[in-house]
Amino acid sequence: MLNIAALSSRPNHHFFGYYGINAWDRSLRYHLALETDFHKRRPKAGDSAAVGLVNRQTHVFEQYAETSAFNLQQGSMMHWIDAGFGEEFTFNDWEYGELVSRAINPKTRETRTIQGAVAAVSPTQPVAIGLNFARMAHCRAVVGYANHIDPDSLHNTPEDDGLFLLDLKTGESRLVLSIAEVIRASQCGKVQGRRAWFNHVLFNADGSRILFFCRVKRDGLFTSLWTVNPDGSDLKCQIPFRRWISHFAWRDSQHILISCNLMGDGGFLEFTDGKQDFRTFGEGILPRDGHACFSPDGRWLICDYRRGKGSDRMAGLMLYNVNDGRKISLGEFRSDKQFSGDIRCDLHPRWSPDGKAISFDSIHENSRQIYLVDVSDLG
């Protein structure tokens, strides 16, 4: 039985947020986290979270800053970076009503400001992709940052909003792909003129391509899947609107894992960027949907899932061996029925860089905390 233990501790709540992002510093001793004194409601404009690190050995949270740019599902999209200023971590923040990212050196506590809110960081270059989480608050609030912007002031398909390329060295930001461009490229009449937004952005393994969703509200949620170069060139639609598309991961620099309903009622598929050569992945073993990401060596896939309803609602965690199809159930964690919708706690698993540990967020002990699974003995 693999050992699962709490990494963070009460009395306050601690969470990282999203999946597939490295939360550990180089020493593997400190894990990024937010701390709040509430978690039974969605954050309101002006609510703040403490930003800091959890010590793996002492389980103590050390605060470095605070932010009002966060949500319970994705935290503040914190990342570790090295842009020539030593090891730093980033988190999103507000400055004079605009979204920025702060980069903090944990040794010196020196803080830099980067224009724009980080959504994904390149694994090979000192650049990031930024998204407008303020807009998202009025499109899909669960992944946006609460604010007082008048939603009626938002253009449905803006030319000046979309994917931003952030220079992590200079702190500069520039728009590389607009929402309007993607809606035009979709050639889908049903989404023209509707409020659209981008979210869920991820670099591939060599930093040469970016995967992202373009979403539109029309009789529910319309989602399309796209890839593009970091400079906004070579835009390709991988899955058009009108399909159910949920979660994805890059397997390497070319191959993409996605949960969608292109083949049957839904499940995980794998395909090659730009080729649409869809094939089933983990059929009969993996759940229909979940937050999944590959281990650093590519041998294992960690995936969460949800099962049951009401008082029997469970959040599960499993490992899938890519080579031989083995499944290892890591556990199921009770989730009280009040934690649904925008305040649910998906486990959102993420690997440590050495592939020996997996961290996840959970509320099964009546507090939102970060947990750690030791997988160093995996065969």
Query: What pLDDT sits at residue 166?
Result: 98
Q: How many other CB atoms are there within 10 angstroms of residue 222's CB atom? A: 21
CB 103 within 8 Å of CB 94: no
Confidence (pLDDT) at 378: 85
- Residue ranges of the chain with per-residue pLDDT less than 50: none
- DSSP result, 253-267: SSEEEEEESSSTT-E
- Token pair for 377: 């003995």
pLDDT (0 to 100) of residue 352: 98
362 touches 345 (CB < 8 A): yes
Report the DSSP beta bridge partners of residue 175.
164
Residue 310: predicted pLDDT: 66
For the record, the structure tokens of 335 come out as: 């989730």
pLDDT at 379: 66
- The model's pLDDT over 59-84, given as tens digits with 9 standing for 90+, comes to 999 999 999 999 999 999 999 999 99
Cα–Cα distance, 178 to 163 (Å, whole number): 6
- The answer to whether 118 and 18 have CB atoms below 8 angstroms apart is no
Instruction: Retrieve residue 323's tokens.
Output: 């080579």
User: What is the per-residue pLDDT across 304-315, written as a single tens digit (0 to 9) for each?
Assistant: 999 887 667 899
Say what the pLDDT of residue 197 is.
98
Q: Residue for token digits 């991820």?
A: 202
The pLDDT, as a whole number, for residue 31 is 98
Residues linked to residue 122 through DSSP beta bridges, in sequence order? none
**Alpha-carbon distances, residue 283 vs 239, 279, 320, 323 (angstroms):** 20, 10, 11, 14
